[in-house]
A and B are shown apart, each in its own frame.
Chain A
Amino acid sequence: MKSQLGLFLLAAVLPAQVSAPRVGFARFAGGSVHAVSGLPANFLVADLPVARADRLSFSDSGGLLARNGEIDLVDANAQPVASFASGEAAPLLNVDGALTTAIAWLPSSHSILHWDGKAFALTQTTFDGEITALQWIEPEKARLLVLEDNASVSAVIVSLKTGQVIDSQTVPGMKGRVFAQHSFLVATNSKTLVIESANGQSRVLPLAAPDITTERMSSDWLHIFSASSGEHWALHLTQTDLHLSRMPPAREAAQ
């Protein structure tokens, strides 16, 4: 059989690499950003913060940190790669893959900032609406999830080259503030977490807290938290796994 396939497997050249399972980076009270490791239902939040931020988004490859109008692109170890002075107080950030997926919506200037692999590029748009999430989906295209006045959700494709809207479609069945994770959409309200797959199947998880915020910790982990109640959750959401756990706060923030 081996000869039929022409395959020859060698024993691992290097010994098995064993390390702490990495979850990602999360932002806690006061804006302190901490590395998180562990497994579902077993989280370890590093005592020392790696940075401070008003907003963040991380994938396994790196992340974006926003603080005081600056948007920093960092690598997987939270080390700086590039910086952009946006002047934006409340940017919406997302990195869900390679650093070239790093993208930000700057609401006060109606513009989209993205990392093209060498530099930040700023695209002015004519779009105006309440955007709850955005993604870089392919070269020169971004997808924005928009909360409409009637609480419905629209998916808007915008050209990163021209800033023009290429397509806009209502997302059936979804309401409220929606976050995109892989091919799933995640909606939160004060009582539940609704996760809808691309084929329209949805799952509802109880999650009662006011003022829910969702930020990406890594490619597969989302950090969901309520600033007023001080509660934190971690959602592991991939094509094969969905697991919602409570997550302890950083010890500094918990005091």
Chain B
Amino acid sequence: MKRLLCALLLGGGLIQAQTSPPLTFYIHDTSGGTPDKLLDPSYAFANTSQGSSTPLVIRAVNSSTSPVYWVQAFVSNTANSTVANANFSVTGQVIDQVLAPSGSILFTVNFAPVVAGAAIGYLQATYQIQQPVGCSFTSGAKPCQSGTVSVSTLTGTATNPQLILSYRNSSGGAITLQPASSTPFDFGNVSTSSSVTITFILANQTANAIPTPTIKLQTTQFFSSAFRLDTSSLPTSIIGNSFATFTVTFAPGQLGVTDPSTALLVGALIYPMKGTGIIVSDVDALQISYTDMTPGSPSFGVRTNPQAATAIQFDQLVVGGATSSIFNFLVTNPTTSYSAVAVSPLGVSGAGFGMSGAPAGPISIAPGATIGFTLTFAAAATGSYTGSLSIGTRRFALEGLTVISPFPAVSFQLSAQPLTSQQQATLTVQLASPSAFAGTGTLTMTFVPSVNGVSNDTAVAFLATNSRQLNVDFPVGAQTASYKGQSAIAFQTGTTAGTLTFKLDVVNTPSYSQDFAISPATIHLTSATAVRQNPNLVVTVNGYDNTYSAGQLSFTFYDLSGKLISPVTVNAATSFQQYFSTNNQAGGAFALQASFPVQGDVTQVGSVAISLTNSQGQTNSTPTFQ
């Protein structure tokens, strides 16, 4: 829903639905046995028991002549509402993507009733359409038209549940849980040094065996969870009129009530849960956090408040890649504490894990004070590693993993070497063997000029995007990477001497990079023209100086018979330096024009020998006058 609201805001607000919606919806048979069938304005699902799910695969087709930005499909409670209906869910849709005319997208609507009886939902889809021309799907400055199409009214009947979830209270009585309850199951108040485990009972109400539904925790993405699920004792199916059990442990590492989005998912049913971390002893008050400082990590700089229920997961190491994963920890005694907290022991255990930077013991953290230390995971041999961090009586599990990259070795091949300035060449990313699986990588080019005081040459870029970064694909079986189907990736080298570096980053694979030098060279002329504009002679020269050191120019004029008339020397160093150093956007490329007043008949001048000098030597050209 957040994505939906965001898209609507970017789109400049929801406008009236198009008189002719740009999207048409079909029922799709994923087996391919029957052709797509137009989805009617109303659709009835088969009867479905509470806790089960009946899917309906739908193909949405862009039936307009303009690109359509698919925001998302959703099922609402009422026809004009955006409030999600709990009895229906939409899965498998790739949201926020552009559909070309006739392009389509598949998604699944699931009737997964949470209460028995008749249910009704309203399938809607939100989109933007590229109208007017030139509008932007993503920029709020030039928003495209947006709209919502009412796709179909969905109905279904929920029958009694086949499985019932319960737990035993402290007196041994079985308490049945109701899904989607507005009152979360409460694990109660638990010290941040302690934990509580609840055993849940999943009972089969029918006489036949039922496959055990998928059971998992719903937690806030990217955040450490204070809950831990153990389904190791669950069978793959529960026999008739029998039951199976699993446990959920609440082990907080932070104070306060857990995130309200936390829930236990049993099949399609949702059971909200909560717990509260509290202080029982002084050490419970310590606020613990860590920041990922592993160079190159996607989580670099991300700060996490760990929960004791969830192991602290270090960045995965790849043999031949980064040698360690580094987390910086901070432990703070809040100012609200009454007394200093003694931290003993402070240490880490487990092969591959190490601690550094901790203050010397005995450690005592005064109210409002903070200590810091660094944990590292560095294991060269492949495998999974576990350990433990102790901060006084507070315990946090540690996990690390070292893998061998499954990706074949990479090399770069250029269409031309050595590289020179003002060149367009292609780069091919070559794999040592055909890729066993599909993957993507990020190909980056960087350019470091060798000219003093020059930091960049904006002409250096991939030609397909005019940028220095591309996402390349590795299809299964391919031995070269490709960008939009092309394995020869074109780029231009600019007009500045320096070093061009290509780097490929693939997840779980050591980065591969290679440098290519572009050597300083004499001034290169791409054109030289000489024109008589009585009473002047005008000489125009286009070219580049990749050293930015052009200085002396000389012009030697000859008559029509080739006899010397006059040499003229111009010191253009100042002009060139002003050009190269003042808001220069063209690198070493330049256009030079020199005008020579003539007393006499300009038509008698036949040619001019031009000589330009830079730090690498002299360049000559002799254009004839037009």
A176 at interface (Cβ–Cβ under 8 A)?
A: no
Q: Using Cβ atoms and an 8 Å threshold, which residues of chain B touch A198?
A: none
Q: Using Cβ atoms and an 8 Å threshold, which residues of chain A touch B592?
A: 16-18
B363 at interface (Cβ–Cβ under 8 A)?
A: no
A137 at interface (Cβ–Cβ under 8 A)?
A: no
Q: Using Cβ atoms and an 8 Å threshold, which residues of chain A touch B563?
A: 1
Distance A15 CA – B596 CA, assembled complex (angstroms): 10
Q: Using Cβ atoms and an 8 Å threshold, which residues of chain B touch A11?
A: 568-570, 596
Q: Using Cβ atoms and an 8 Å threshold, which residues of chain A touch B208?
A: none
Interface of A, secondary structure class, is mixed
Distance A16 CA – B575 CA, assembled complex (angstroms): 7
**Residues A247 and B463 in contact in the complex (CB < 8 Å), given A15-B575, A31-B134, A41-B422:** yes
A43 touches B492 (CB 8 A): yes
Interface string of A26-56 (1 = CB under 8 A from B): 0000111000011111111100000010000
B572 touches A18 (CB 8 A): yes
Q: Which of B481-514 contact A (CB under 8 A)?
A: 490, 492-495
Distance A164 CA – B424 CA, assembled complex (angstroms): 47
B32 at interface (Cβ–Cβ under 8 A)?
A: no
Distance A2 CA – B563 CA, assembled complex (angstroms): 10
Q: Using Cβ atoms and an 8 Å threshold, which residues of chain A touch B599?
A: 7-8, 10
**Residues A6 and B570 in contact in the complex (CB < 8 Å), given A20-B586, A40-B526, A248-B463:** no
**Residues A7 and B604 in contact in the complex (CB < 8 Å), given A39-B542, A41-B424, A42-B459:** yes
Q: Using Cβ atoms and an 8 Å threshold, which residues of chain A touch B467?
A: 251, 254
B557 touches A17 (CB 8 A): no
A230 touches B594 (CB 8 A): no
**Residues A5 and B595 in contact in the complex (CB < 8 Å), given A15-B574, A21-B589, A38-B586:** no
Q: Using Cβ atoms and an 8 Å threshold, which residues of chain B touch A43?
A: 459, 492
**Residues A9 and B568 in contact in the complex (CB < 8 Å), given A17-B592, A19-B591, A38-B586:** yes
A223 CB to nearest B CB, Å? 14
A18 touches B604 (CB 8 A): no
Neighbour of A8 across the interface among B494, B587, B600, CB < 8 A: B600
A22 at interface (Cβ–Cβ under 8 A)?
A: yes
B622 at interface (Cβ–Cβ under 8 A)?
A: no
A250 at interface (Cβ–Cβ under 8 A)?
A: yes
**Residues A246 and B585 in contact in the complex (CB < 8 Å), given A2-B566, A12-B568:** no
Q: Which of B263-322 contact A (CB under 8 A)?
A: none
Interface string of B573-596 (1 = CB under 8 A from A): 011101100001111011111111
Q: Using Cβ atoms and an 8 Å threshold, which residues of chain A touch B575?
A: 15-18
- Residue among A16, A43, A44, A245 with the most chain B CB within 10 A? A16
A91 at interface (Cβ–Cβ under 8 A)?
A: no
Neighbour of B465 across the interface among A22, A32, A42, A248, CB < 8 A: A248
Residue of A nearest to B569 (CB): A11
Distance A13 CA – B575 CA, assembled complex (angstroms): 14
Distance A37 CA – B585 CA, assembled complex (angstroms): 9
Distance A253 CA – B300 CA, assembled complex (angstroms): 31
Neighbour of B585 across the interface among A16, A18, A44, A230, CB < 8 A: A44
**Residues A5 and B133 in contact in the complex (CB < 8 Å), given A18-B592, A39-B543, A42-B492:** no
**Residues A15 and B572 in contact in the complex (CB < 8 Å), given A38-B586, A52-B134, A248-B465:** yes
B476 at interface (Cβ–Cβ under 8 A)?
A: no
A12 touches B598 (CB 8 A): no
Q: Using Cβ atoms and an 8 Å threshold, which residues of chain A touch B259?
A: none
B564 touches A40 (CB 8 A): no
A207 CB to nearest B CB, Å? 13
**Residues A17 and B574 in contact in the complex (CB < 8 Å), given A5-B604, A38-B459, A40-B422:** no
Q: Using Cβ atoms and an 8 Å threshold, which residues of chain B touch A6?
A: 600-601, 604
Q: Which of B533-572 contact A (CB under 8 A)?
A: 537, 542-544, 553, 557, 559, 563-566, 568-570, 572
A17 touches B134 (CB 8 A): no
B589 touches A38 (CB 8 A): yes
**Residues A9 and B572 in contact in the complex (CB < 8 Å), given A17-B594, A21-B589, A42-B544:** no
A157 CB to nearest B CB, Å? 28
Q: Using Cβ atoms and an 8 Å threshold, which residues of chain A touch B543?
A: 39
B466 at interface (Cβ–Cβ under 8 A)?
A: yes
Neighbour of B586 across the interface among A7, A14, A21, CB < 8 A: A21
Interface of B, secondary structure class, is strand
Interface string of B414-440 (1 = CB under 8 A from A): 000000011110000000000000000
Distance A21 CA – B459 CA, assembled complex (angstroms): 13
A232 CB to nearest B CB, Å? 8
Q: How large is the interface on B (under 10, 10 to 19, 20 to 34, 35 or more residues)?
A: 35 or more
Residue of B nearest to A46 (CB): B585
Distance A12 CA – B537 CA, assembled complex (angstroms): 10
Q: Using Cβ atoms and an 8 Å threshold, which residues of chain A touch B492?
A: 41-43, 246, 248
Neighbour of A16 across the interface among B424, B542, B553, B597, CB < 8 A: B553
Distance A249 CA – B526 CA, assembled complex (angstroms): 23
- Residue among B463, B466, B566, B600 with the most chain A CB within 10 A? B466
Distance A230 CA – B564 CA, assembled complex (angstroms): 52
B418 CB to nearest A CB, Å? 16
A126 CB to nearest B CB, Å? 33
**Residues A5 and B565 in contact in the complex (CB < 8 Å), given A12-B596, A39-B495:** yes
B464 at interface (Cβ–Cβ under 8 A)?
A: yes
A241 at interface (Cβ–Cβ under 8 A)?
A: yes
Residue of B nearest to A232 (CB): B463
Q: Using Cβ atoms and an 8 Å threshold, which residues of chain A touch B493?
A: 42
A20 touches B565 (CB 8 A): no
Distance A136 CA – B577 CA, assembled complex (angstroms): 42
**Residues A13 and B595 in contact in the complex (CB < 8 Å), given A8-B600, A249-B465:** yes
A16 touches B459 (CB 8 A): no
Residue of B nearest to A31 (CB): B134
Residue of B nearest to A19 (CB): B591
B10 at interface (Cβ–Cβ under 8 A)?
A: no
Q: Using Cβ atoms and an 8 Å threshold, which residues of chain A touch B462?
A: 248
B364 at interface (Cβ–Cβ under 8 A)?
A: no
Distance A170 CA – B64 CA, assembled complex (angstroms): 41
A18 touches B565 (CB 8 A): no
B343 at interface (Cβ–Cβ under 8 A)?
A: no
Distance A17 CA – B570 CA, assembled complex (angstroms): 11
The 8 A-B pairs at the shortest CB distance, nearest first, are namely: A248-B466, A7-B600, A20-B586, A21-B591, A18-B579, A8-B599, A16-B572, A254-B465
Query: B interface vs A, CB < 8 Å?
Result: 133-134, 421-424, 458-459, 461-467, 490, 492-495, 526-527, 537, 542-544, 553, 557, 559, 563-566, 568-570, 572, 574-576, 578-579, 584-587, 589-601, 604-605
A-B contact pairs, 15 of them (CB 8 A): A7-B600, A7-B604, A9-B566, A12-B570, A12-B596, A15-B574, A16-B553, A16-B592, A20-B591, A30-B133, A32-B134, A41-B423, A42-B587, A248-B466, A251-B467
Query: A interface vs B, CB < 8 Å?
Result: 1-2, 5-22, 30-32, 37-45, 52, 230-231, 241, 245-251, 254
Question: What 18 new A-B contacts, CB under 8 Å, besides A11-B568, A15-B570, A20-B585?
Answer: A1-B565, A6-B600, A12-B568, A16-B570, A16-B572, A17-B575, A18-B591, A18-B592, A20-B591, A30-B134, A37-B589, A38-B586, A39-B544, A42-B421, A42-B589, A230-B464, A247-B463, A251-B467
